[in-house]
Amino acid sequence: MLGQLRFFTQTDPLNKNIPKSAKGFSKLIRLDIHEPTFENPMSSNKRLKSRLTFKSSQTFMFHETDEYYRTTVKLTASQLVRVRLYDFDVSFTPLQSCDVGLGLIEAVINSSGYDENNSGKSEPQSNLEFWSALIKRNEAYGSTEQSGSLQVFRTGGNFLIAGTLLDPDPAVEFEDGEEPYYDLKIGLEGQYIYLSFGWVRWIFTTNESEWLAEQLLTAAFLATKSVRTTPRDSA
């Protein structure tokens, strides 16, 4: 079956419940959706395959330089969310992608570089509520025991989210059955936001952080839509 997934524009009359701050839905995006394929259910180590994919790219700037690099977020057919920052690659499960995306939005809310609108809710706050409501945690994401988890340690100017995540697609295999866990942190550095993977740290502007968060959350949302699709009952 071939279909299309449509995200409505802000000017669309059907777009009444989508806040203007949800930039991930602020433009029309069409994605080809094919009938998902499923691995043998007896093979628990096989990852669910789907033809539903997503890819988005943007130009970021290296911190304190005039040099640019490409950032790409991609949802693969195996339901992994792959992120490329220049030549650095990392993969997330849908649950991890959701947690990191929401964490980046929370960092923007706490950032000193963001002017909060005193007349009402800030855009990042509306964005956080929108995505949290749209992507509710369920079995489609998997368990935190299988992927690790993040938690908020500090708020305000010293905002910090940290945790240990399991790499779902490690480049190397560890000996003695050791699991490929790594430390991830999201915090503030002045008016900037950092995202660190172990000792590797990337520093973003608030605009870059919001864009990256929206792509991660969009990919996570699409991954859960794919998981919820069930094969037809055999005749």
Strand residue runs (E) in the chain: 2-7, 29-34, 54-61, 68-75, 81-85, 88-92, 148-154, 160-166, 181-189, 192-197, 200-204
Any domain includes 41:
no
For 182-208, write each residue's pLDDT tens digit: 999 999 999 999 999 999 999 999 999
- Alpha-carbon span 121 to 26, nearest angstrom: 19
Any domain includes 234:
no
- Alpha-carbon span 154 to 80, nearest angstrom: 29
Mean pLDDT of 33-59: 57
The better pLDDT of the pair 219, 231 is held by 219
Instruction: Report DSSP letters for 2-16, one per residue.
Output: EEEEEEPPTT-TT-T
| pLDDT(172) > 90 | no
Any domain includes 19:
no
CA nearest neighbour of 48 among 223, 172, 233? 223
Return the pLDDT at 182.
94
| pLDDT(111) > 50 | yes
CA atoms within 13 A on the CB side of 69: 14
**pTM for the whole structure:** 0.73
For 66-104, write each residue's pLDDT tens digit: 999 999 999 998 889 999 999 999 999 999 999 999 999
Give me the chain's average pLDDT, please: 75
The better pLDDT of the pair 138, 89 is held by 89
Any domain includes 8:
no
Task: Enter the DSSP assignment of 23.
Answer: G
Any domain includes 149:
yes
Any domain includes 68:
yes
Any domain includes 66:
yes
Per-residue pLDDT band for 123 (boundaries 50, 70, 90) equals confident
Of the listed ranges 32-41, 51-60, 90-99, the one predicted with least confidence:
32-41
Any domain includes 25:
no
Q: Domain count for the chain, please give it.
A: 1
Residue 89: domain span = 52-228
Task: Enter the DSSP assignment of 137.
Answer: -
